[in-house]
Structure 1
């Protein structure tokens, strides 16, 4: 019957052995009955079950029960005052037939078996046991062979591990030496950079005084009350004054670049009239336009109040526009000014487009390298140091904004300057989030770089009374929900979830969507994906972070009064200190 159900080999031997042992133990028990079933439990393979029921005190032997539990897939023994029941079962191999078809096949096998001979059955079981024994012996021999191969393989692995360990130790020694050399080179580069910065600053300071003198003397000679000059002399003095002004502008750029690299260049925020600024640019740059090139700088109306560093913004736009005029031989150079609303704050967008020669795609990143100029015949005879665009981008970053460039050779260049209007700072006592001129009450910083956080800690002490640091980004949302801070600083580059994901989670959560968020990044703020930072109030580079820059991003006054003492519960509190 087992063969008719598809049981073969070891499974057949186990079923026959267990049922024979149980049957022998229970033979002669009052009311003994055995029911055979082919069942299909829900979501389980089909099962062949033998259920023994009887009454009286007799029970199966302990060895038979142990064999049933160990050898078969199912075994259950029940005893009560009404009788006993033992169910033993084995899973059947998969088949296309249903339980009914299998059961009918088993009945047919029983009907065809005829009269059973106990001796013949014992001989059959013995043959099956012998076959099982032979299979077990073959398996044991195969296992011994595999063990021998495994031992041989292990010896080879141990030898290879020893060899690799020796090579790794030798490599580590070389890496340590290389690291020491790299550290020494890094120190030398840092010293060289510091020396370069000092050189720029010193030379710029030394040049500025005589250049100012040249410009002042030229203007005195050209003044209406001065002694009359011939037309040729007046023209020569005008050239001297113009060249002196150009040289002074270059010196100022060098000095500002040196200050920015050393972290000493800070914006001075004042209310700025965009109309006056654009009018001055129009008058200054009109003379640079070549014949056949139109300079279009519009008048603006109905724009938000602008609070920024007027000198920095003027230099940014002047550099961008003069670059366009320099490399446009026909057509126009146009400046457009628009105002946008971002996270509840107004922003100014200044876009310069020209019809010039354009910049090849492989050169568009390099134009932001200091002193680099795109190679080509168009560069011959054109003045410049290669500082214009790097200088403009650096100043834009200091103003809390971003400068981006798109260009196509032969189709012109477009430069987009985006800066916050800082409307909340335009009037004394403005209170973003109810903080007034004082520091914010609490601030959460999410950054996995302990060195940077250590350097940033004293800076944040001048911006917030309570600072909570989170080094594991996966805990950031829970901490922010629990702390309910006045603002959050988030690093972009972290193990998952990174800053982009955290911004999305905070923006979707009604409990955190209103909290101002400022993004920190060690890369150029102009290189981040702005489309994924719509919830961020500002993007700040990690280099030269100061209380003023952070306060500008949060629309706070870091130097304002702070009458409330620092809180003593929760988070990590910082005090004032040096700027990193």
Structure 2
């Protein structure tokens, strides 16, 4: 509703009599608007205070009472005058005038406007929630009702104020009596609380002593558990180390026997030595798995991400496990994955996960197949690797427990195949380290499906790029030739160095666009060459790809990977090399 059309009453303030009239009429209009008694008194008092200031002006002032519905239904009191109130030269002094300040405290909102030739005040008092809406029809009825008011005199106004004061005093007296009763009840409650506190103090003190003793026991138990866990981890690590020493000897001797330069073996002897070597390698893999689980539990395994071809990981999986699956009744099928480009992941951890899953499937499949496949879920940007078998399956009640360490599903086949019960728990830990999850579905007698879901983190797109100058540092001439072929079409000029001294000499004579660096070179080794480059202001931002077959521990990978991309010689391809070069460039120069 337009506030201008909601005017109920207009008053002219020219003298003391108008002050009493404004108070009287204001209370009557407030009652018509639906305000409660206390708010009626507030409105009447605000009008009285405001009118008292306006009555002192030389020219009459105007006060209007209106109903408005925005921003909320309210009674609007507007005052307009010409001339200046005593002591006012601006808005701030006007708002501080005693009558206006008192009226503003009694209203919900107060807006003051100062002008050179006068001013205005707008006060609002919100209508109660249950009051009738200020429609046009209601305003018309209230306006008609206000015209029938009979003005009183000063005595009537004084009598009305006295009644208001009496009602206020009565209300205050009732509140005081309520407060006295509440205080009495509170004192009684306090006495009860003090008595209860006195009764509970001894029990609370005894309980506290018991809790302190219990905490001491829990601390001691936690210490014992921590020590037991550390002892278990040390035990695993020590046992694994002790087992690997004779196993490495067995494998070394079997390789010597199979070496073409050794004394010739009969076909049967060669077959038996092959079995010894294969069994030793399998046992060594189990020992390494046990050691890796100990490392995973102690938080020592970290993902070392590098450009990785999924097809290469699958080829290595196929080559490693096909001899194990060579049975007429069970076929191992490793499908060629979709070509999605180089992935930014840890190929070692990914390979371990898949070997564990496929080995598990082969172990518990008596006939049929074990199939490993991969697909890309584009909407979810997820890589899904699925290992499905047609084996004995896992009952529902055991499907959650197979991810517990050392737990094995009871059954005849399980007892025959043996195992540590660490494969699936270890695979799940590694999946978590790579930022993925491992899900299992199985039906007894129909097989098991395990799905590895990893974020589809692609290495930088391999774009056609040419390097004006590339320095290859490797003491193996055959591998230098491999790097030359991998750089075919990507480098204008390739220079070589076979040791650390030659590498540093070549670096200082001509700054290359890219360095391919082996670690195991004659002194200074590759790590020292890289460190020297990063200390040199002129070489600090040259991209370096460390191409090595050395087994690096976590600390070495962390140090080298801070300023260089890492690439395993076994996984080398042209696309991976270019992706690694892109990653090395981002490390030292930021994205292109």
Shorter-normalised TM-score: what interval?
0.5 to 0.7
Separation in 2, partners of 1:385, 1:252:
12
Tell me the equivalent position of 1:352.
387
TM-score, structure 1 as length reference: 0.53
Listed one character per residue, the Cα deviations across residues 489-540 of structure 1 (whole Å, up to 9, x for unaligned) are xxxxxxxxxxxxxxxxxxxxxxxxxxxxxxxxxxxxxxxxxxxxxxxxxxxx
Tell me the equivalent position of 1:190.
226
Aligned pair partner of 2:403 in 355, 362, 368 = 368
Q: Which runs of 5+ in 1 are unaligned?
A: 439-461, 466-485, 487-543, 559-580
Count of residues in Structure 1 that have an aligned counterpart in Structure 2: 440
SS at match of 1:286: coil
Tell me the equivalent position of 2:325.
286
Deviation of 1:333 after TM superposition, in Å, equals: 0.9
Tell me the equivalent position of 1:40.
68
Q: Is the 8 A contact 1:281 1:314 kept in 2?
A: no
Structure 1 residue 334 corresponds to structure 2 residue 374: no
Tell me the equivalent position of 1:407.
441
Q: Is the 8 A contact 1:295 1:333 kept in 2?
A: yes
Aligned pair partner of 1:548 in 540, 557, 561 = 557
**In structure 2, do the counterparts of structure 1 residues 201 and 422 end up closer, same or farther at CA, with 3 Å as the change threshold?**
farther
Q: Is the 8 A contact 1:77 1:87 kept in 2?
A: yes
SS at match of 1:190: helix
**In structure 2, do the counterparts of structure 1 residues 130 and 311 end up closer, same or farther at CA, with 3 Å as the change threshold?**
closer
Deviation of 1:283 after TM superposition, in Å, equals: 3.8
Structure 1 residue 321 corresponds to structure 2 residue 330: no
Q: Is the 8 A contact 1:328 1:355 kept in 2?
A: yes
Listed one character per residue, the Cα deviations across residues 162-214 of structure 1 (whole Å, up to 9, x for unaligned) are 88888777666555544443333333333333333333344344444555666
Listed one character per residue, the Cα deviations across residues 273-331 of structure 1 (whole Å, up to 9, x for unaligned) are 557624523541232x462x322134679785799988776654443222112222343
Tell me the equivalent position of 2:184.
148
Tell me the equivalent position of 2:497.
none
Deviation of 1:13 after TM superposition, in Å, equals: 5.1
Separation in 1, partners of 2:156, 2:338:
112
Q: Is the 8 A contact 1:320 1:392 kept in 2?
A: yes
Tell me the equivalent position of 1:250.
286
Separation in 2, partners of 1:133, 1:267:
79
Deviation of 1:355 after TM superposition, in Å, equals: 2.3
**In structure 2, do the counterparts of structure 1 residues 547 and 148 end up closer, same or farther at CA, with 3 Å as the change threshold?**
farther
Aligned pair partner of 1:389 in 424, 427, 430 = 424
CA RMSD after TM alignment: 6.2
TM-score, structure 2 as length reference: 0.53
Separation in 2, partners of 1:78, 1:281:
89
Separation in 1, partners of 2:236, 2:556:
26
Separation in 2, partners of 1:551, 1:202:
28
Listed one character per residue, the Cα deviations across residues 88-107 of structure 1 (whole Å, up to 9, x for unaligned) are 98776643454343122111
Q: Is the 8 A contact 2:258 2:273 kept in 1?
A: yes
Q: Is the 8 A contact 1:304 1:339 kept in 2?
A: no
Q: Is the 8 A contact 1:332 1:355 kept in 2?
A: yes
Q: Is the 8 A contact 1:403 1:415 kept in 2?
A: no
Aligned ranges 1:169-568 → 2 under 5 Å: 174-210=210-246, 246-258=282-294, 274=313, 277-278=316-317, 280-281=319-320, 283-287=322-326, 289=327, 291=329, 293-298=330-335, 316-336=353-373, 350-360=385-395, 363-376=398-411, 378-393=413-428, 400=434, 402=436, 404-410=438-444, 411-416=446-451, 546=555, 548=557, 556=565
Structure 1 residue 109 corresponds to structure 2 residue 149: yes
Q: Highest Rg: 1 or 2?
A: 2
SS at match of 2:417: coil
Separation in 1, partners of 2:322, 2:168:
105
Q: Is the 8 A contact 1:407 1:413 kept in 2?
A: yes
Separation in 1, partners of 2:222, 2:292:
25
Q: Which runs of 5+ in 2 are unaligned?
A: 1-24, 88-96, 463-470, 474-486, 488-512, 518-530, 535-540, 542-552, 568-592
